[in-house]
Amino acid sequence: MASKTLAYVFSTLLFLLQFHCYAGQSVVKAVYWFPGSGFPVSSIDSTLFTHIFCAFADLNASTYQVTISSSNSAQFSSFTQTVQQKNPSVKTLLSVGGGGSNPSTFASMASQASSRKSFIDSSIKLARSNNFYGLDLDWEYPSTATEFTNLGTLLNEWRTAVANESKSSGKTALLLSAAFFYSANYYSLNYPIQAISNSLDWVNVMAYDFYSPNSYSTPNLTGPPAALYNPTSQVSGDAGTTAWIQAGVPAKKLVLGFPFYGFTRMGSLEIRDYKEPLRAQTWIKAGYWLSGSEIHSSAINSALFTHLLCAFADLNSSSYELSFVSSDEKDFSNFTDIVKQKNPTITTLLAIGGGNSDYSVFSAMVSKASYRKSFIDSSVRIARAYGFQGLDLRWVSANTSSDMTSMGLLFQEWRATLNSEAKKSSRKSCS
């Protein structure tokens, strides 16, 4: 499984975790922030969260002390103060390691009492001096039974040291968490369940990156990268969480992690029908905005995205033309102008249909050429009239072989119409 490294995260998107309850707190909502994300700490809406992870501190391979690089020092030292300006009650944790760190350094550190002590003492000192409320271990991953045993010893000693420091300083004990594999069983190796249950406030279950271009186990396979359920495999958030509970970790100490990003697989893809290799955007960072949501379009931080989808236009069941609910028309007509104020380069698309639409209307529309033409012509006309640069079909869902075949015809005719319209109007074709 891949890791929480910037190589796998869209450059300005954050990791979001929805936590289950722990230590008497009903809900914990947390996020990982990365200094290389290009997303300023001051821009984090900390009112959305109860906890925020600052990632990552490093582990020195010689001294086994936790350190913060000089390039991150200023941001890390002011991190807590900055995020508490919008939410004084938010708790911050310093995360150590990460997918880009060397797992053998962690293995060496955990193998001896003296090096574990160096890690533990320096981590506590660093957390206190930088005003963090807790520490998070991200060792990806122990790879032998001995390393997992040493991990358990490390966690027990860490908890003891944190408790002793709290008693001697008179301060509230630091929180301790760790990011672990999605399952309690790591390729036939078992996590130290008793130590985890006794010593950690919670476990961040990394139920994501099951399939990715960067994964050592699935580099050439596609699949659901963060499936909550998977009927064909035990690789899912549900299966992993169940394994942790069955192993003995209390459910209240389990955290379900999920990504707010996706993957593209570009490689050296070439379309032979074209004279040049396929020219595509390296990353697509997109979000849907729903017209009935509580967030007004002007509140969207469009600087986070390359594409925004305005949802949803409706399909008329008689004419098979696109239409809007009258209350949405103003929001839709102004959408592109509004989101471009913060990001002039953003591309907007009009999404059609959605989960609440009647799938049978879409089925009827694709069944006849005249109906498809009505849909296509009206979609292009409305997209142009409202300033959208693309169209998005959300038909949930085509459920017969005939529907699938007809949907293929729709796509072909839609693309042909878009290309023809762009040529006639001398404008860039809709996406």
In the annotation, is 140 catalytic? Answer: yes
Q: Cα torsion at 360, 361, 365, 368 (round to 10°)?
A: 50
Q: Cα torsion at 256, 50, 38, 55 (round to 10°)?
A: -70
CB 184 within 8 A of CB 151: no
DSSP 23-76: TTBS-EEEEEE-GGGS--GGG--GGG-SEEEEEEEEE-TTT--EE--HHHHHHH
Catalytic residue among 140, 147, 157, 421: 140
SS3 19: strand
For Cα atoms 191, 197, 203, give the angle at the middle one, nearest 5 degrees.
70
* Exposure letters 79-118 (e unless 16+ CB within 10 A, then b): bbebbbeebeebbbbbbbbbbebebebbbbbbeeeebbeb
Find how far residue 338's CA is from the centre of its chain.
Answer: 25
How far apart CA 365 and CA 377 sit, in angstroms, is: 13
Q: For residue 98, give both structure tokens.
A: 């990460």
Amino acid identity of residue 182, one-letter, is Y
DSSP 130-189: TT-SEEEEE-----SHHHHHHHHHHHHHHHHHHHHHHHHH-SPPPEEEEEEESSSEETTE
Q: For residue 245, give both structure tokens.
A: 């509970």
Which residue numbers are catalytic? 140
